[in-house]
Amino acid sequence: MTSTALESTLDSLGIARTGSTGSSSTTTTAKKSTTLGQADFLKLLTAQLKNQDPFSPMDNTQMVAQMAQFSSVAGISEMNTTLTSLANKLTGTTPAAAMNYVGKTVLTQGTTAYGRTSGGLAGQVELDAAASNVTVTIADASGGVLKTLSLGAQKAGAASYDWDGKTADGKSAGSGPFTISVSANNGSTAVTSRSLVWAPVQSVSLPSTGSPVLTVAGLGQVQLSAVRAVG
C-alpha cells in the first residue's frame, strides 16, 4: 500500500498518527476513535490489498495470520459480552420471582423484630471478627429491657440466637414489636457487629431500573440484595 493511500485510509477511519508531509512535520489527532473495530479492520485490509505493490504482493501467510488474530480477539470480545449477559440473567430476579417474597419472612439487618405466633423470636448477630463475648439485648417499644442473652464466644460470621419470649422474671413479653441491640467484644477490643432479624414482607416495589425493593414490617424498604435468608 502506498503511503498516501494508507494515510487516506487511516484518516477515514479516524486513527491518530504522527508523520511528515512534504517538508513540514504534522501530527494528526484522532477524529473518531483510536481503536480498530471489525468494520475498520476489513476496510483497512481491503485498502491494503487494493494498493499493494504488484511486484511485491502481501505475503499470504502474514495476511492469514492477521485475520486469524483479529478473529480470535473479536471472538473473545463476543464471548465476554455473552458471559456478562448470562451472569446478569443468573443473578437477576424477575418481577414474578420478586412477588413471591410477599407474605414470607426474610432475615435482614435491622433492630425491630416481631414475635412468632408461637411466642419468642429468633435472629442472628453478624460478626466481622471472632469475639470472646456476644450479647443480645431485647427491649420493648418504650425501651424497657425485657431480656439479655449472652451468646458467649463466637467465631466471625453469623451467630444465631432464639428467645422464648419470656422476660427476665419469667413473664410473657407479648408479641412485640421488640427492639434488638447487639454488642460484641474480643477481650477489651470491640468487634463490629450487626443485628439480623426476621421480619415479614408486606409488598414488593418494581422500579423501572435496578433490583426489586421489599417493604418489610418494622424495617421499611429493604433492597433484595440485603436479604440474608428467606423463611
178-210 pLDDT, tens digit each = 999 999 999 999 999 999 999 999 999 888 777
What is the rounded distance in angstroms from the CA atom of residue 141 to the CA atom of residue 177? 6
Looking at the fold, whether 157 and 60 belong to one and the same domain comes out as no
What is the rounded distance in angstroms from the CA atom of residue 135 to the CA atom of residue 167? 16
Looking at the fold, whether 102 and 75 belong to one and the same domain comes out as no
Looking at the fold, whether 107 and 220 belong to one and the same domain comes out as yes
Reading the block at residue 113, the C-alpha cell is: 423484630
**pTM of whole model > 0.85?**
no
What is the rounded distance in angstroms from the CA atom of residue 34 to the CA atom of residue 37? 10
pLDDT at 29 over 50: no
Select from 90, 116, 148 the last residue of a domain: 90
What is the rounded distance in angstroms from the CA atom of residue 139 to the CA atom of residue 111? 10
Looking at the fold, whether 78 and 45 belong to one and the same domain comes out as yes
pLDDT at 114 over 60: yes
Q: What is the CATH number of the domain that holds 190?
A: 2.60.40.4070
> What mean pLDDT do residues 136-144 have?
93
Looking at the fold, whether 83 and 126 belong to one and the same domain comes out as no
How large a percentage of the chain has pLDDT more than 70? 70
What is the rounded distance in angstroms from the CA atom of residue 96 to the CA atom of residue 216? 18
Looking at the fold, whether 76 and 108 belong to one and the same domain comes out as no
Domain that holds residue 16: 3-90
Looking at the fold, whether 187 and 103 belong to one and the same domain comes out as yes
Looking at the fold, whether 163 and 199 belong to one and the same domain comes out as yes
Q: Given this model, what pLDDT does residue 149 score?
A: 96
Preceding peptide of 177 cis, ω within 30° = yes
Select from 90, 113, 146 the last residue of a domain: 90
